[in-house]
Amino acid sequence: MTHHQDIKPPTTLAEVLDVLNAYPDPDEKRQQAKVSAISRIATYMHRPPSDIPTNLPQLRDLLASLHPVSCGVKPKSLSTTKSDLASALRAAGVLPDHTSARELAAPWEDLISKVQSSHQVWGMMRFARFCSAHAIHPTSVGGETIQAFRIELEATLLTGDPGKHLIAMIDTWNHVVRKNGFDLPQLARPRSDRYVARPLTDYPKSLQDEVNTYIDRLARRDLFNDEGPDKPLRQTSLRNTIAHLRQILDALVASGRNPEDFTCLADLITADNLKAAFRAIMQRRNTKVFPTGFGNVAATFLAIARHHLQAPEQAVEALKHLHKTVATSPRGMSAKNSERLAQFNDWEAVVRLLSLPETLMARADNKPVLRKSAQLAMHAAALTILLSCPMRIKNLSGLDLDKHVIPFRTGTHTLYSIRIEGTEVKNGEPIEVKLTSGSSKLLHRYIMQFRPQISQASGRALFPRNTDGKPRTPDNFGRELTKCVYRETGLEVHPHLFRLSDVSTYRTDLEV
């Protein structure tokens, strides 16, 4: 039972407690659960209830930052606490009351009854109730309905991302409609807030051709062309070069220039054009501070002017001066990486990460025949290598059993070394490390027992793809490891962060 109709909604969890005490739930267990949830959430956040807002977007972000491991509880326990907190907020009038839950209108009840999968029913039920309450027929849903539903999610959803919830609902709706052949409209996903520059195809073909020729030079696709760099640029660098050109072209068009003005790179690569584009981008972002990416864009323009266009010295000097102006941010790691490294000020966090490979391998050994166990073992092996020798994700994912992984016997044990030649490393410095006995034992277990379960295809990749046995792609493998570390430890750690931190130096202290 709620009593919020006659009171002003509270603005902090402390005020929610006041409401609960003033209007206690007749059920003592429910009352205790609500009060206890506020106390626990405050403890997990290391804040007093008076410092925790009930403003839903703010509270939602705070709750999203809680992880069972860092809170010292099981996932189900944290989920229950959040559910009890939602009950407390409903009792205080912050969230809509479930006792007034909307009934489904007949057309929606008929539609839901035809959906066979329970998880699809769950994914559509909130939307169905919303439409029923607003007298919107299933055949009438559209863009305006989606926009109104998103506004409702923002105002009522306590846990989870409203945007992701909306997209999941749209995908479920479209799948159900297609699979069952319902005569209902397909729903379009809302456009991303991320700004997307115009494609190069919006500009004259002569410019497109010159850009492609320049990229081919950077990639050294013609081995007999002596005009390119000594070493071919990596795919990431090539993509960034194209992205920089698209970004500046788009900004110039947005500021009033005609796309047909740019027939060749010489029409684009000038200091004046770059300044005008930077101004347009800063105005669009509503900032008076140079974004960190401007330095890289200016460096790309400078390289094109100097090496491709062989521009006059005066034009090159103007671009050099502009590059120096926009690349004034202090050297060192980004603010985001600095914030993430602060996680390791907590010794318990360091221990959780250092012990994670052994934790994952022990779990894999419990049920060694499952494919999921093989995935756990693979992540354990990858993390133990990163902890022993931080390296770029491209080098990690590309490790080859014949080229890079060197086994040698000592008594009855197999020890391993990792060696990568400097020609395969971005900075040209070779990577070489001898794994400890504990790390070698874990890696040997993965190679002998679990790697064959990852892929049946022939190949010598240490971390093979299931489909063809070739090395896993760096981007996908990096995301796998990041998700694994967060799921198991609550730490936001991507592979690159291992290279920035000193966490690997602790490992020898913990070896037994």
249 and 360 together in one domain: no
Residue given tokens 């590309």 in the structure block? 398
| 476-493 pLDDT, tens digit each | 999 999 999 999 988 888
Residue given tokens 């266009």 in the structure block? 309
- What domain count does the chain have? 4
Distance (Å, whole) CA 367 – CA 376: 11
Question: Which tokens belong to 412?
Answer: 């009855």
Task: Report the pLDDT value the prediction gives residue 512, as an integer from 0 to 100.
Answer: 38
In a domain, 187, yes or no: no
Q: Which band of pLDDT confidence, cut at 50, 70 and 90, is reported for residue 509?
A: very low
209 and 233 together in one domain: yes
Contacts for 341 with CB less than 8 Å, ≥ 6 apart:
333, 497, 500, 501
Contacts for 438 with CB less than 8 Å, ≥ 6 apart:
358, 511, 512
**Percent of the chain, pLDDT > 70?**
92
Structural contact between residues 121 and 113, judged by C-beta atoms closer than 8 angstroms? no
Closest of 481, 255, 475, 440 to residue 356, by C-alpha: 481
Distance (Å, whole) CA 75 – CA 61: 18
Q: Which band of pLDDT confidence, cut at 50, 70 and 90, is reported for residue 239?
A: very high
Which residue range(s) make up the domain with 209?
200-327
| Mean pLDDT for the stretch of residues 263-287 | 95
HEC readout, 318-333: HHHHHHHHHCCCCCCC
How many CB atoms sit inside 10 A of residue 509's CB? 7
| Mean pLDDT for the stretch of residues 243-247 | 96
Distance (Å, whole) CA 202 – CA 209: 13
Closest of 494, 483, 452, 486 to residue 469, by C-alpha: 452
**pLDDT for residue 29 is more than 90:** yes
In a domain, 186, yes or no: no
Render the burial of 261-270: b for 16+ CB within 10 Å, e for the rest: ebeebbebbb
In a domain, 333, yes or no: no
Task: Report the pLDDT value the prediction gives residue 510, as an integer from 0 to 100.
Answer: 46
**pLDDT for residue 293 is more than 60:** yes
Last residue of a domain, one of 297, 327, 357: 327
In a domain, 39, yes or no: yes
Q: Find the helix packing angle between 28-45 and 13-22, rounded to 10°.
A: 170
Task: Report the pLDDT value the prediction gives residue 460, as an integer from 0 to 100.
Answer: 93
Helices (H), 93-227: 106-113, 118-133, 143-156, 162-180, 205-219
151 and 91 together in one domain: no
Distance (Å, whole) CA 62 – CA 66: 7
350 and 499 together in one domain: yes
Structural contact between residues 150 and 141, judged by C-beta atoms closer than 8 angstroms? no
Last residue of a domain, one of 269, 296, 327: 327
Domain holding 407: CATH number? 1.10.443.10
Q: What's the CA angle centered on 104, arms 98 and 110, to 5 degrees?
A: 150
Give the up-direction half-sphere exposure of residue 46: CA atoms within 13 A in the CB hemisphere.
4
| 56-75 pLDDT, tens digit each | 999 999 999 899 988 989 99
**Percent of the chain that is helix, strand, coil (3-state, to 5):** 60, 5, 35
491 and 383 together in one domain: yes
**Percent of the chain, pLDDT > 90?**
73
Task: Report the pLDDT value the prediction gives residue 456, as an integer from 0 to 100.
Answer: 86
| 417-458 pLDDT, tens digit each | 999 999 898 888 899 999 999 999 999 999 999 999 999 888
300 and 375 together in one domain: no
In a domain, 505, yes or no: yes
Q: Which band of pLDDT confidence, cut at 50, 70 and 90, is reported for residue 10?
A: very high
22 and 147 together in one domain: no
Mean pLDDT of the chain: 89
Residue given tokens 């419990």 in the structure block? 366
Structural contact between residues 421 and 431, judged by C-beta atoms closer than 8 angstroms? no
Closest of 17, 15, 19 to residue 3, by C-alpha: 19
Q: Which band of pLDDT confidence, cut at 50, 70 and 90, is reported for residue 280?
A: very high
Last residue of a domain, one of 95, 126, 141: 95
289 and 396 together in one domain: no
Q: What's the CA angle centered on 229, arms 228 and 231, to 5 degrees?
A: 125
| Mean pLDDT for the stretch of residues 361-373 | 94
303 and 385 together in one domain: no
376 and 478 together in one domain: yes
| 177-235 pLDDT, tens digit each | 999 999 999 999 988 777 889 999 999 999 999 999 999 999 887 776 777 777 888 88
In a domain, 456, yes or no: yes
Task: Report the pLDDT value the prediction gives residue 438, as an integer from 0 to 100.
Answer: 94
Answer positive or negative: Cα dihedral of 288, 290, 292, 296.
positive
285 and 161 together in one domain: no
At 295, the amino acid letter reads G
| Mean pLDDT for the stretch of residues 261-268 | 96
253 and 284 together in one domain: yes
**pLDDT for residue 153 is more than 70:** yes
In a domain, 188, yes or no: no
At 137, the amino acid letter reads H
In a domain, 33, yes or no: yes
Task: Report the pLDDT value the prediction gives residue 382, as an integer from 0 to 100.
Answer: 96
| Mean pLDDT for the stretch of residues 132-154 | 94
Long-range CB contacts for residues 323-327, cutoff 8 Å, separation at least 24: 323/295, 323/298, 323/299, 325/290, 326/278, 326/290, 326/294, 326/295, 326/298, 327/294, 327/295, 327/298, 327/299
Residue given tokens 């094109």 in the structure block? 304
